[in-house]
Structure 1
Amino acid sequence: MSDTKKVAFVTGGRRGIGRAIAYALAGHGFDVVVNDVVRDDSAEETLEGIAGRGVRGAFVEGDIADLDKHESLLAKVWDALGPVSCLVNNAGVQTAFRGDMLNIPPESLDRLLGVNVRGTFFLTQQAARRMIADRSGDMTRPDRSIIFISSGNAVIATPGQADYCISKAGIAMMSSLYALRLAEHGIAVHEIRPGIIRTDMTADVFDKYDGWVQSRGFPQARWGEAEDIGRTVGVLAAGLMPYVTGGAYHVDGGMHIRRT
């Protein structure tokens, strides 16, 4: 591993899973640039938490769905703390339509694909170009990474949120494709598939899922916490598993395991 200070860039990082990821990366010695669509009290709290872990933090406001702003957004990120060695694609939106997939309106799918797939793909494309241009060191030991936060719904079909499932399946393929393309440049690519995680984003479906959790609907019968995702990102980004790329990691208490 390089002795150069490591810098991570976390999209959608001002709260929830993004904040937990930022804190975990800080714990592994990364300076952390956080991005989100607004800089509010939650963002300031996240920055304070990063600084409290003894590393530098910065915030860059921007919407990853706005492709025309990607170049300027990434320029601000690189200028903030230096060359990025880890990109975590955490930003994403949940479906606004829960119901019969035969009734999903086009604008719902367009929104999900615009942020979760289109925005993520092209931001990663530009970030990868910058990371390749920054390359130095031993190519046989990847010391840089790109990590996609997808969902168990990348492979678990849920007709009640079909548009969301489609967008997350797109991220799963995206991760595999980038892993193939970037391996020669010493950039490892990973996908993390969270299960049922207790966050603001799942607050509206807490009652729906809590009974299933409590009745041992899957092996580790508890709600996942944002920190569970953060710890997994930290291990991968820190290079503690140097001979892996292109893998999908289910952080879901075993929910994905097929049972008869």
Structure 2
Amino acid sequence: MNKVALVTGGSRGIGLGIAKALAKEGFDLAINGVREEPQVAQTLTELRALGVRVVYLQGNIGTKDGRKQIIDGLREKYGHIDVLVNNAGVAPRTRCDVFEISEEDYDALMEINQKGTFFLTQEIAKWMADLKKADSDRQMSIVNITSVSAEIASVLRGSYCMSKAATSIMSTVFAIKMAEFGIPVYEIRPGVTETDMIEAVRETYHQGVKSGMTLEPRMGQPEDIGKVAAALIRGDLPYSTGQIISVDGGMNIKRM
């Protein structure tokens, strides 16, 4: 029986990079997204071509019903879970000064990036704990994808930064709780990564890289994060639960 990984937001961008890396490791996949399945059919076919089983679990993690739909589908399709990758997230609806953020936009972002991620993790973590109690040799893990924005603030993306900072401390809280069951929890902080999320400001980031924003002179790629996630999930960083891994080309290094 293959191990199963649930990757939220796994049909594109960083989530897809992680899904591909885990498929190459032999994980059967549960890919979550909000789009209708026909819209992601080609992506699912590409993942299945890597030789693993892939199911699509449509659902919005930002709603209680959406989270139930995802978990019910996972139980029905696989009956167990070994890895949770919390990747789903949204950018602010509008990039604006912190004085101008509306309550509606704030709530919409937090419902997915923080609240939804927390309550999905809560349910999956309880399920994992039960599975571990029944089989102490099971190797399971949780990986939370946050952002350098958990630490590097921007007044034009204030709510996004706050959501990622909250998810970062959530990762620490779950690392403490899941240690009781021998299940490690990690946080990956990507830097500026080539995905559709940055489309509106892509040129700005390209210019930033050229100007030395990162030590490595390129933007990150989804496969960069995928390789790091796979290493954590394989256990290549043992005795390291709760650690934050920055995959940002050196962006967060203090320098003169």
Task: Using structure 2 for the length normalisation, give the TM-score.
Answer: 0.95
The CA deviation at 1:41 is 4.9
Letter in 2 for 1:223: M
Deviations 1:148-185 (A, max 9, x none): 11000000011111010000000000000000000111
Match of 1:15 among 2, 6, 12: 12
Partner Cα distance (1:157, 1:72) in 2: 34
Deviation per residue, 1:87-118 (Å, 9 max, x gap) = 00111110112121111111111111111110
Match of 2:252 among 239, 246, 256: 256
Distance (whole Å) between structure 2 residues aligned to residue 123 and residue 171 of structure 1: 12
After TM superposition, where is structure 1 displaced by more than 6 Å over at least 4 residues in a row?
Answer: none
Aligned partner of 1:236 in structure 2 is 232
Q: Structure 2 CA distance, aligned partners of 1:9 and 1:96?
A: 26
* Residue 38 of structure 1, CA deviation: 1.5
Residues 198-251 of structure 1: per-residue CA shift (max 9 Å, x gap): 011111111111111123222101011111111111111122222111111110
Residue 177 of structure 1 pairs with residue 173 of structure 2: yes
User: What's the counterpart of residue 116 of structure 1?
Assistant: 113
Instruction: Give the corresponding residue for 2:185.
Output: 189
Aligned to 1:152: 148
Q: Whole-Å Cα distance in 2 between the matches of residues 184 and 84 of structure 1?
A: 18
Q: 1:204 aligns with which of 194, 200, 207?
A: 200
Quote the RMSD (CA, aligned, Å).
Answer: 1.5
Instruction: Say which of 66, 91, 95 aligns to 1:94.
Output: 91
Out of 77, 81, 85, the residue aligned to residue 80 of structure 1 is 77
Q: Is the 8 A contact 1:11 1:88 kept in 2?
A: yes
The superposition leaves residues 118-154 of structure 1 with CA deviations (integer Å, 9 ceiling, x where unpaired) of 0000000001111111124446xx7111111100000
Q: What is the alpha-carbon distance in structure 2 between the residues aligned to residue 79 and residue 39 of structure 1? A: 19
Counterpart Cα distance in 2 of 1:41 and 1:219: 40
Alpha-carbon spacing, 1:40–1:72, altered in 2? closer, same or farther (3 Å) = closer
Instruction: Measure, in 2, the Cα distance between the counterparts of 1:17 and 1:211.
Output: 21
8 Å CA contact retained: 2:4, 2:83: yes
Please list every run of 5 or more consecutive structure 2 residues that lacks an aligned counterpart in the other structure: none
Which segments of 5 or more consecutive residues in structure 1 lack a partner in the other structure?
A: none
Report SS of the residue matched to 1:92.
coil
Residue 213 of structure 1 is matched in structure 2 by 209
1: distance between equivalents of 2:49 and 2:38? 16
Q: Distance in 2 between the 1:130 and 1:138 partners?
A: 14
The count of corresponding residues between Structure 1 and Structure 2 is 255
Give CA-to-partner distance per residue, 1:27-73, whole Å, 9 cap, x none: 11100000111134552122112211111110011000111342342
SS of residue in 2 equivalent to 1:223: coil
Please give the secondary structure, in 1, of the residue aligned with 2:156.
helix
Tell me, what secondary structure is at the counterpart of 2:104? Answer: helix
Cα distance in 2 for partners of 1:62, 1:174 equals 22
Measure the CA separation in 1 of the matches of 2:89 and 2:238: 27
Whether contact under 8 Å (1:117, 1:167) holds in the other structure is: yes
* Letter of the 1:244 counterpart: S
Q: Is 1:225 the counterpart of 2:221 in the alignment?
A: yes
Provide the rounded CA distance (Å) in 1 between the counterparts of 2:236 and 2:177: 22
**Structure 1 CA distance, aligned partners of 2:28 and 2:234?**
12
* Separation of aligned partners in 2, 1:39 and 1:251: 31
TM-score (norm. length: structure 1): 0.94
Cα deviation, 1:181-203, whole Å, max 9, x if unaligned, reads 00111211011111000011111
Percent identity for Structure 1 against Structure 2: 41
Other structure's SS at 1:9 match: strand
Q: Bigger CA drift: 239-248 or 144-153?
A: 239-248
